Copies of this chain bind each other. A is one copy, B any other.
Amino acid sequence: MSLPAEFHEIAKRVNNWGRWGEDDERGTLNLITDAVVREAVATVRTGRRTALALPLRQGGVQSGFIPGRIDPLHTMVQINQEMFGPGAVATSDDTVTMGLQAATHWDALTHVSHSGRIYNGRPADTITAHTGARFSSIATVGHLVSRGVLLDVARARGVDRLAGGHAVTPEDLDAAEEFGGVRVRAGDIVLVRTGQVRVVLAGDRHAYGHPSPGLSVRTPEWFHARDVAAVANDTLTFEVFPPEIEGLWMPVHALHLVEMGMLQGQNWDLEALSTACAEEGRYAFLLTAAPEPFAGATGSPVAPVAVL
C-alpha cells in the first residue's frame, strides 16, 4: 500500500520544503513576524479574555483507544508536609504522568511522517526513543503569539455542532469568514469551530472521537493560499473521521505537518470563545498559545488564551 496519487498532487501544491531554508525547523511559524504581532495586539478592544484548554485530569478526553496516550494522572507527593519541623510552613507538591497529546495540545511538525520523511525533507528516522525528535520538536516553537481568527463553522451554519462525519470544506471556511466579517491573512492562527467538543463536555468520551466532523482533505490548500501560521479545532481527530477517501487515513495531518510545516491543535474548547465573539461581534483577537518546551517531544499540552 502507498498513498494515492490524489494525495501526492495536493502535497506538491502545498509543499513548503526549503521555503525558509534547508535548516528550518519551524515552518509556517516563520510567517509570524513582529508586524503580524503588532497587528494582533491592535485587535484588542475590551481586554476580555477566554481560556481555551480543557481540564487536565483522569476521566478526560481519552477512551483508551490509543495505547500510551493516557489521560493525565495527577498525584500528590507532599501534602501539607512540615519539611522543617512541626509548626513550620508546610508544602504540597505534585507530579503528573500523561500523554502529551492527551488533551488540549499542539502537534509538533514531527507528530506524523509519510514516505519516510518529516517536514523539510528530513528523514523520519531522526526521531528515536533515545532523544525523541532531533529536529522540529515542540521545543523549537518557543513563543507563540499572533492574531487569532475564529472560523465558527457551526454557528455560521446555525447549529450547535456539525454532524459526525461532516467534512469541513473550503466553502465552509469562506462562509464562516463572511459570517464573522473577518478575512484570514498571513501569520494568523485559525481556530475552526465544529462544536464537537460539546460531546465530551457532556461526558461521552467514546462518542467524541468517531464519527467526528473535521477538516476536509481539500482545506490544506485553502490554508496554504492564505499563508496561515497554525490551525486548531475542537475535535479529537482534527480531520473528518471516518476519512473522506477510503483507505486514506490522516491525509490532512500529513499535508499540514509534513508538507506545509504547519502546527495543528486538537481538543481546543472553543465554546466560550464562540459566545464571546458572537457577543462582541468580532472574530479576530490576540491569541497566545505557547506549548511547553519538552525537549524532543512531538507534541505538548497548551493553555491558549484569546484576548478580545
Could you list which residues of chain A lie within 8 angstroms of chain B, going by C-beta atoms?
A: 1-3, 33-38, 41, 44-51, 53-59, 64, 66-70, 72-81, 83-101, 110-114, 124-125, 127-130, 132-133, 139, 142-145, 247, 249-251, 253-254, 286, 288, 290-299, 301-305, 307
Contact = CB atoms under 8 A, between A and B. Distances in A.
A37 B306 CA distance: 12
A84 B254 CA distance: 13
Contacts of A1: 85-88
Contacts of A97: 73, 95-97
A87 B55 CA distance: 31
A144 B288 CA distance: 10
Contacts of A301: 292
A73 to B, nearest CB: 6
Determine how many copies of this chain the complex contains. 4
A224 B185 CA distance: 43
Given A75-B77, A97-B96, A132-B94, A293 B298 contact: no
A203 B171 CA distance: 45
A99 B91 CA distance: 14
Contacts of A34: 46-49
Given A38-B47, A128-B79, A305-B288, A93 B99 contact: yes
The 10 closest A-B pairs by CB, nearest first: A68-B77, A37-B47, A34-B47, A75-B75, A57-B295, A288-B288, A290-B303, A143-B305, A49-B143, A84-B249
Nearest to A2: B87
A286 B2 contact: no
A68 B58 contact: yes
Contact of A99 (B36, B49, B68, B95): B95
29 contacts: A33-B47, A35-B47, A36-B47, A37-B44, A37-B49, A38-B46, A38-B47, A41-B41, A49-B143, A53-B290, A56-B294, A58-B64, A68-B73, A69-B93, A69-B95, A75-B95, A76-B127, A78-B129, A80-B124, A89-B254, A90-B112, A90-B113, A91-B250, A92-B133, A92-B298, A96-B98, A96-B294, A290-B305, A292-B301
B95 A55 contact: no
Contact of A110 (B69, B92, B129, B143): B92
Contact of A125 (B41, B80, B302): B80
A84 B250 contact: yes
Contacts of A70: 58, 70, 73, 95
Given A81-B128, A89-B251, A129-B77, A143 B50 contact: yes
Contacts of A111: 91-93
Contacts of A91: 111-112, 250, 253
A101 to B, nearest CB: 6
Q: Which of A1, A51, A297 has the most CB of B within 10 A?
A: A297
